[in-house]
Amino acid sequence: YQPDGDTLVLQTKCVIASNRKVLYQPDGDTLILKTKCVLASNRKVLYQPDGDTLILKTKCVLASNRKVLYQPDGDTLILKTKCVLASNRKVLYQPDGDTLILITKCVIASKRKVLYQPDGDTLILKTKGVLASNRKVLYQPDGDTLILITKCVIASNRKV
């Protein structure tokens, strides 16, 4: 529409089916791109609130590595994941976009150990399960001292 006979103003609120983007031009000068839908190829949410900066946001899970990617300010790409990686069963998240913090509370089936890293610096080993090979209960409460406890009877030498 052309309200004053001089400026041609373009306005559209429809969805473009090819790329699922919403295009509108409120002032007749800046073409603003907005989309809140999920792109099937990379599962990323793209929107451009001011018509100048293209901001990338996604809160979905990428199936290849099970990582949640989002970019709240358009400058820093933040990696967050709370899922368990099947190869090493570790929970990875990156709250500030700079430090990659490793946290895991799951049991590693090969060693039956519970590993977690609360501060991103010290790797603490904790296990309360029985190791089938030597029937020993291992746990490390402070992350520095490895404590060995066993209450079972070893049949070969009959020691408690």
Q: How far is CA 49 from CA 19, 33, 45, 86, in A?
A: 17, 7, 13, 38
| pLDDT, tens digit, 9 for 90 and up, residues 138-151 | 444 444 444 444 44
| pLDDT, tens digit, 9 for 90 and up, residues 97-141 | 333 444 443 333 233 344 444 443 334 444 443 333 344 444 444
CA distance 83 to 73: 24
Q: 67-92 burial by CB neighbour count: b if 16+ within 10 A, else e?
A: bbbebeeeeeebeebeeeeeeeebbb
pLDDT of residue 27: 53
Task: pLDDT band for 3, please (50, 70, 90 cuts).
Answer: low
